[in-house]
Amino acid sequence: MKSAASSDRSLTVLISSAGRRGELLQCFRRSAEDIGVDLRLLACDLDPEWSAACHLADRAFAVPRADDPTYVDSLLEICAREGVDLLVPAIDTELIALSQAHSQFAEQGTRVSVSEPGFVQMARDKEVTARALAEHGIPTPATYTLEEVAGAPDGFEWPMMAKPNHGSAGRLISIIERPQDLPVDPPEPLILQELLVGPEYTINMFFDRQGRAATVIPHRRVGIRAGEVEKGVTERRADICRIGWKLAEAFTGVRGVICFQAIVTDRGPYVFEINARFGGGYPLAHAAGGEFARWLMQEALGWPCEANDDWQEGVRMMRYDAAVFLPS
């Protein structure tokens, strides 16, 4: 971490598992320009030659899969060699390993933007997440394992929502209309949840290095594609914001950026998922004034962090496809 007394305004940031997260890189670039930081922005991916975000970075690196035993060592080597000040993970499957290796990165001067292992492990397991939310009095849909439901299907209300217990990006989510439609041999553990009806929200939150929540920014998911918001609008809903602040009080070991998802029913909001990372819809929060990228860089530089809850309601995002073209 750079010293607060240092006149050095340069910073090297690495976005891991960058993939298609070009907008996230641009958020860091814009914030760095605004606060006068000389930013060197790096990215890595399994196949950087076919990663749009990697081609938008100043330099890119190939790394193993996030679940490979050598993944952390590979990132440690890159961070040491390139003098990385801040490492920002982008996908769920790398979070636990990076959280557990947090001190190893810190020893060589790299701050990893990730929560402590206990919180990350809870957020990666949807069944455990639902249980933890309920224990803290935060409304969440009734959640069961596939085995529980299959063992006594007449004891549940149908239809139900089925999803992978460790899934993300809307992968393999389906509605099970009746017990006869339950999968017999799924490729991975499934959970089933009561089917809730209502508008869906993603709530972006920022926690400083002391674990204090600074902001709660809900946006309504007007349109979704492949599990990620395509059209959205920020809304300062008091009922959802109260849940965000309550969540911040309930859980310890939260650092940096998280997001959670909720459905607003006629009984109020229900939280059904927590992600301990930048969400795909973060650029909307950024455009509304929640510049998490700026605040992370300020912390990495040892500067006063300007994190606040003064964001703009009614900011709309409508995504479109963009492309990166390379010469032959």
pLDDT digit string, tens, across residues 260-304? 999 999 999 999 999 999 999 999 999 999 999 999 999 999 999
pLDDT(185) > 50: yes
Within 10 angstroms of residue 51's Cβ, the number of other Cβ atoms is: 23
Reference 115, options 43, 27, 202, 210; nearest CA is 210
In terms of DSSP bridges, do strands 10-16 and 86-89 run parallel, antiparallel, or are they unpaired? parallel
Report, at the CATH architecture level, how domain 10-114 is classified: 3-Layer(aba) Sandwich (3.40)
pLDDT of residue 8: 80
* CA distance linking residue 19 with residue 278, whole number of Å: 13
Is residue 252 within 8 A of residue 281, CB to CB? The reply is: no
CA dihedral 128, 129, 132, 136 (to 10 degrees): -170
- Rounded average pLDDT over 93-99: 97
> Which of 3.40.50.300, 2.60.40.10, 3.30.300.30, 3.30.1490.20 would CATH assign to domain 142-194?
3.30.1490.20
Q: H-type helices in 64-125, by residue range?
A: 71-82, 95-100, 102-107, 117-124
Whether pLDDT at 72 is above 70:
yes
Give the strand pairing for 200-207 and 213-225. Answer: antiparallel
Q: For 101, which DSSP code?
A: T
Global pTM value? 0.93
Domains of the chain, by residue range, sit at 10-114, 142-194
Is the pLDDT at 7 greater than 80? The verdict is: no
Exposed/middle/buried for residue 314 (C-beta within 10 Å: 0-12, 13-18, 19+): exposed
What DSSP state is assigned to residue 305? P
More confident residue, 226 or 61: 61
Report the pLDDT value the prediction gives residue 4, as an integer from 0 to 100: 39
Say whether pLDDT at 169 is over 70.
no
